[in-house]
Amino acid sequence: MTADPADNRRRRRVESLLRRALPPSSLITDPRARKTFETDGLTAIRELPWLVALPETEAQVLEVLRICRAHDVPVVPRGAGTGLSGGARPSADGLVLGLSKMAEIVEVDLDNLVARVQPGVRNLAISEAVAEHGLYYAPDPSSQIACSIGGNVAENSGGVHCLKYGLTVHNVVGVRLATVDGEVLELGGKVPEGPGYDLLALVMGSEGMLGVVTEVTVRLLPSPPEKRVLLAPFADVGAAADAVGAIIAEGIVPAGLEMMDAPAIRAAEAFVHAGYPSDAAAILLCELDGVAGEVAADLARVTRVLDAHGAGDIRVAESPEDQARLWLGRKAAFPAVGRIAPDYYCMDGTIPRAHLADVLERIGRLAEAHGLAVANVFHAGDGNLHPLILYDANQPGQLEQAEALGARILELCVAVGGTVTGEHGVGVEKLDTMCHQFDAATLAQMHAVKAAFDPDGLLNPGKAVPELARCAELGGMHVHGGRLPFPHLPRF
């Protein structure tokens, strides 16, 4: 097909303007260098971007957005690329806007217990920077050594301590958001509350569809004076799952309450030698923190609950070194599972805790029906499941089987009153299951919010919220009189 001369002129014009707006090393045009940005952690979904911009300042971000808006160039914001739902998959005719060079901790405000950081700052770097003051940043995704705080905002990331300390939305108090027009919105700040609609909460988990985060103000917490980490093995997965709800029912909110089944246990133990019992059907990791008397009392109560539910030999880690070793196995579980199968497909659904035992048993039956194995490692305390579906992409049909199994698992989560994502986002992976969870009116309202921020649909197009027509074709939307609802809304 002959290239459109007008489009070629437009492309040359855009590239010329971007070269003027950015330092020479901040615009990537070489195909080999652009290949680095063709996917995020969901590596089965790839696309080579037309251009990659790596601005170093907020002013450069704004200028890139103005240029792209003026010339109808789609923009895909990107953090560290550790996302697991295809949210940073680029567009072949668009620009990847990477924020990795904006990695400065701008201010640590000890009076207000907050830190202002640029979006490319690594999650763990915040806690490392304030540790000397006895402070830390609570959300701790398993990828915290690499993932960026801007990406955490985009996905509303959690971590093993989210049960007690919350997700990103509960720990961010302010954001500077660059709009598609190249303007800056100041949302939230150091003061606890502000007037008007809570637009700050709206931005959390918006997956780069409403604007580009250029600065984040995070809440800092005092490091707890006392911690204990328990490891409880179980001979039965259902008993371990039931123990989770029983602990919460006692009025105890652990800092972390994680569960791993036998395949995940064996993989993690072989990988990092955390001291996990390889013959257990499941283990619970429970962290208790606070002042010494409180931790001692909670430890006794949790131990009684675990004993009552058939736990085996319960281990209690007291030293920081022993505690870190137990958590290392959990945090290394994803790469550990990657050593026992050529490929794995990580799902992310959330269910009410009361359904844990039943859902895990049904996931096992679904896996058997699809001819694939599943390893389960997840945030049991808040019901956020992460089934890892093992497959071999080199075997014809296995990727499709893994995707089909993943969809059935997410539909199961919705059926028991849960949701299709807890912290990994929708991206492109869960567009179809969004149709399963939400009705037409709700999805249309999401499109209306998108249109208010980005009327031309240039920011991360095709992500997070499915087109209304797509849901109608899948049978997940009721169509009145052969027409889609809200026909005036853009079909992003």
Are 328 and 288 in a shared domain?
yes
Segment 261-274 mean pLDDT: 97
- Domain stops at, among 367, 383, 415: 415
Are 214 and 304 in a shared domain?
no
pLDDT in the model for residue 478? 38
| Residue 451, in any domain of the structure | no
Interval 49-78: pLDDT, tens:
999 999 999 999 999 999 999 999 999 999
Give the global pTM. 0.92
Are 170 and 249 in a shared domain?
no
Segment 223-246 mean pLDDT: 97
Q: What are the residues whose beta carbons fall under 8 Å from the beta carbon of 257, sequence distance 6 or more?
A: 163, 244, 247, 248, 284, 285, 286, 287, 379, 380, 381
Interval 173-188: pLDDT, tens:
999 999 999 999 999 9
| Residue 145, in any domain of the structure | yes
- Residue 484 pLDDT > 90, yes or no? no
Are 317 and 352 in a shared domain?
no
- Residue 483 pLDDT > 60, yes or no? no
CATH label of the domain that carries residue 310: 3.30.70.2190
CA dist 136 and 390 (Å) reads 35
Helix (H, G, I), strand (E, B) or coil at 221: strand
How far, in whole angstroms, is CA 372 from its chain's centroid? 25
Q: What percent of the chain has pLDDT over 90?
A: 91
**Could you tell me the pLDDT band of residue 481, with boundaries at 50, 70 and 90?**
very low
Cα radius of gyration (the chain):
23
Segment 358-370 mean pLDDT: 97
Are 129 and 187 in a shared domain?
yes
DSSP, res 492? -
- Compute the mean pLDDT over every residue in the chain, rounded to the nearest whole number: 93
Could you give the angle at which helices 237-249 and 292-308 cross, rounded to 10 degrees?
A: 140
CATH label of the domain that carries residue 373: 3.30.70.60
- Residue 477 pLDDT > 50, yes or no? no
- Domain stops at, among 71, 98, 125: 98
Dihedral sign (CA 117, 120, 123, 129): negative
CATH label of the domain that carries residue 113: 3.30.465.10
Segment 329-343 mean pLDDT: 93
pLDDT in the model for residue 475? 67
Are 296 and 243 in a shared domain?
yes
pLDDT in the model for residue 1? 42
Q: Which residue has the tokens 């604007």?
A: 211
Query: How would DSSP label each residue in 160-209?
Result: TTHHHH--GGGTEEEEEEE-TTS-EEEEE-SSS--SS--HHHHHTT-TTS
Are 183 and 278 in a shared domain?
no
- Residue 394 pLDDT > 70, yes or no? yes
Are 161 and 182 in a shared domain?
yes
**Could you tell me the pLDDT band of residue 488, with boundaries at 50, 70 and 90?**
very low
CATH label of the domain that carries residue 26: 3.30.43.10
Q: What are the residues whose beta carbons fall under 8 Å from the beta carbon of 105, sequence distance 6 or more?
A: 115, 116, 117, 118, 121, 125, 126, 129
pLDDT in the model for residue 3? 66
Segment 374-384 mean pLDDT: 96
Domain count, the chain: 4
| Residue 439, in any domain of the structure | no
How would you classify the pairing of strands 343-346 and 256-261?
A: unpaired
Are 119 and 88 in a shared domain?
no
| Residue 134, in any domain of the structure | yes
Interval 154-174: pLDDT, tens:
999 999 999 999 999 999 999
- Domain stops at, among 290, 319, 334: 334
**Could you tell me the pLDDT band of residue 491, with boundaries at 50, 70 and 90?**
very low
| Residue 454, in any domain of the structure | no
| Residue 386, in any domain of the structure | yes
Dihedral sign (CA 46, 334, 82, 367): positive
Helix (H, G, I), strand (E, B) or coil at 483: strand
CA dist 390 and 279 (Å) reads 20
Are 206 and 176 in a shared domain?
yes
| Residue 444, in any domain of the structure | no
| Residue 391, in any domain of the structure | yes
- Residue 485 pLDDT > 80, yes or no? no
Are 94 and 122 in a shared domain?
no
Q: 125: domain range?
A: 105-222
Are 242 and 196 in a shared domain?
no
pLDDT in the model for residue 492? 34
Q: What percent of the chain has pLDDT over 70?
A: 96
